Amino acid sequence: MQKKLYKLLYPRRCPGCDKLLEPDQKVLCARCDDLVKRTGEVVCVTCGKPLKNETRDLCPDCRKGHNFVAGRALFVYDGPMKEAMYRLKYDNRRCYARNFAVEAKKTYAGLMRAWGIECVVPIPMFAPKERKRGYNQARVLAQNIAEEFGLPVADLLERVEDTPPMKGLSPFDRRSNVKKAFHMKESEVQFNRILVVDDIFTTGATMDAVAEVLMSHGVQAVYALYVCIGEGS
């Protein structure tokens, strides 16, 4: 009942333009639905980045391999999704997470079953930063995605260092930047196949660091889902 009331009081907004959606629109308004780029069929088999060259399996970033098995994105980080990601992160538009979870279920229900996902883990935010912002958008996304797929959320990790923004760093610097940033909160994990959720994927340095920590605590396979990803080559 409380949930119904919540949905009545807080109708869905379009993440692309922030306008209120019609009751039959669950993800984006018609205009933004035309403007956004979904990742589509031809993607890097590892990170899910759309590939311009259809004869390749992997994008250049993934040729060296990753600690996570595979990841997929919903949208290309471009056009209205750039604004959407900004508002989700900095403008308290946590409500968009619900739309993205619906899109995730629509697009990746089969894949999620094939991956055998047992629980959803958010990329943690450095605690003082989260207190200042009031929320961690990755956790809000993880909660909504878990609910949509009927999976539990496992808040297994904490971020012990505030890493400088990754923007403008080389892939090598990005890796060393996040290498020691994550710790396990619990010493034992009862899940083998985990889905890690984040808002934007760039080179995968953060996802690799998180996967490494999870696997060193006995997790067998780490998969990833993010709302947005850049375009590949």
Which residues would be at the binding site for Zn ion (CB under 5 A)? Answer: 14, 16-17, 29, 32, 44, 46-47, 49, 59, 62
> Which residue lies nearer to Zn ion by CB, 80 or 124?
80
User: C-alpha distances in angstroms, 190 versus 24, 105, 200, 222?
Assistant: 39, 24, 27, 14
Residue 127 beta carbon to Zn ion: minimum distance, rounded to whole angstroms: 31
Q: Which residue, 57 or 186, has its beta carbon nearer to Zn ion? A: 57
- Strands (E) across the chain are located at 70-76, 119-122, 157-159, 182-184, 193-201, 221-229
Least separation in angstroms between residue 70's CB and Zn ion is 9
Q: How many CA atoms lie within 13 A of 24 on its CB side?
A: 1
Rounded distance between C-alpha atoms, residue 43 and residue 70, angstroms: 11
Query: Whole-number minimum distance, CB 46 to Zn ion, in Å?
Result: 5
Give Rg (Cα) of the chain: 17
Q: Pick between residue 42 and residue 127 the one whose CB is nearest to Zn ion.
A: 42
Tokens of 95: 């409500």
Maximal C-alpha separation, the chain: 51
State the minimum distance, in angstroms, from the CB of residue 107 to Zn ion: 18
Among residues 32 and 140, whose Cβ is nearest to Zn ion? 32
Closest CB 155 distance from Zn ion, rounded Å: 27
Q: How far is the CB of 118 from Zn ion (least distance, A)?
A: 24
Residue with Cβ nearer Zn ion (149 or 201): 201
Spatial neighbors of 101 by CB under 8 A, at least 6 apart, are 141, 144, 145, 147, 148
Is 130 exposed, middle or buried (CB count within 10 Å of its CB: 0-12, 13-18, 19+)?
A: middle
Nearest residue (CB) to Zn ion, 33 versus 118: 33
Helices (H), 95-136: 96-115, 127-133
